[in-house]
Amino acid sequence: MSTSTSLSEASITELDRKLILATQAGLPLVSDPWAELGRQLNLSADNVLARFQALQEAGVIRRVAAVPDHYRLGYRYNGMTVWDVNDDRITDLGTAVGELPFVSHCYRRPRHLPYWSFNLFAMVHGTTREAVEDKASQIRALLGDACQQHTILYSSAILKKTGLRLRR
Amino acid sequence: MSPVEKILINRLQQGLPLVRHPYAAVAEELNLNEQQVLDSIKKLLAEGVLTRFGPMFHAGELGGGLTLAAMRIPDPDFERVAALVNEFDEVAHNYRREHELNMWFVLATETRDAIEKTIAAIEKNTGYPVYNMPKEQEFHVHLHFPV
């Protein structure tokens, strides 16, 4: 469930698709990137900019931003913390966990009993394992007696990382 | 990383203002000049400190399918199965994690109903079950790594 104002799928136009394809590798690094995109797509810079603003307003674009390689910034420990939270408390507790500044992603996902009893996922990064554990203990305190059990799944290898791509 | 680069990395993770000259706007905010901002972003991308600079799309709003899936693979078979799973274009990220469920990947497909088809194909090719864990509710997402 997204909190953004939803743009219906039908209103993602062919133009939007072209804009997404033209920028999925990145925004042009020139003074007026909208004019540069406009040249590629035969549109005015004002049109391109207005469409970007509309897409961001609708939540199709979260933001136009830098994505760092978190390993290169020293965040070597990537802990997927997972929690078994009472279903009737998950909306308010998930919202509270998502508001913690060090939680980068937070989702409710289905259980798969008996192998998987966790329904709340919160991604936590740290420069040390202790830093991740300290952050997890803050989540633990917040969840209180609504949480039966939890664990932290550290990543031990990146097997593939290509990001999301639309095909042409 | 220079002090200017650190300031820029922190600021640019938060999102560019959508104005006609966005790099100049950020430069003014930070008391830098536009060329410094553009050159620093290019350098950080070339060095791999930034993996990308541009719009971050909300895949769920694009009409495609997106899910997280996990598998439980015995150690001796892990590499073979990882190679089979990674062959799928729909697999965007794949991580080995320290748990009984030891392979975790994100599937991104052009249409929503392609998710189930892809999962069935992965199960068929590898011979192991896939645990599908689509998001049922999204709480706040803020990918920010202060430096």
The rounded distance, in Å, linking the Cα atoms of A104 and A117 is 22
Considering only CA atoms, which of A94, A120, A80 is closest in space to residue B105?
Answer: A80
Of A49, A64, A116, the CB nearest to B55: A64
CB contact under 8 A, B9 and A2: no
Residues 6+ apart with CB under 8 A from B37: B8, B23, B24, B26, B27, B30
CB contact under 8 A, A64 and B42: no
Mean pLDDT, to the nearest integer, of A29-33?
98
Ramachandran assignment for A74, one of left (phi > 0), alpha (psi -120 to 50 degrees), beta (any other): left
Mean pLDDT, to the nearest integer, of B113-121?
96
The rounded distance, in Å, linking the Cα atoms of B131 and A94 is 22
Ramachandran assignment for B36, one of left (phi > 0), alpha (psi -120 to 50 degrees), beta (any other): alpha
Best B12, B18, B87 member to test A by mutation, with max A CBs in 10 Å, is B18
Residue B33 touches chain A, beta carbons under 8 Å = no
0.90 surpassed by pTM: no
Q: Copy the structure tokens of residue B118.
A: 């892809």
* Degrees, nearest 5: CA angle A4-A10-A11: 60
Chain segment B71-113, per-residue pLDDT in tens: 999 999 999 999 999 999 999 889 999 999 999 999 988 888 9
Selected residue with higher pLDDT from A71 and A56: A56
- What is the complex's ipTM, to 2 decimals? 0.80
Chain segment B19-75, per-residue pLDDT in tens: 999 999 999 999 999 999 999 999 999 999 998 999 988 766 667 788 999 999 999
The rounded distance, in Å, linking the Cα atoms of A90 and A107 is 10
Mean pLDDT, to the nearest integer, of A103-114?
94
Residue B129 touches chain A, beta carbons under 8 Å = no
Chain-centre distance of CA A125, in angstroms? 13
Listed range (A53-57, A61-65, A154-158, B43-47) with the worst mean pLDDT: A154-158
Owner of token pair 């909208």: A34
Q: Copy the structure tokens of residue A79.
A: 């802990």
Selected residue with higher pLDDT from A17 and A31: A31
Chain-centre distance of CA A39, in angstroms? 31
Of B97, B110, B142, the CB nearest to A104: B142
C-alpha gyration radius of chain B = 20
CB contact under 8 A, A69 and B45: no
Residue B46 touches chain A, beta carbons under 8 Å = no
The residues with which A152 forms a beta bridge, in sequence order, are A81
Looking at the predicted structure, is the pLDDT value of residue B13 above 60? yes
The residues with which A122 forms a beta bridge, in sequence order, are A81, A106
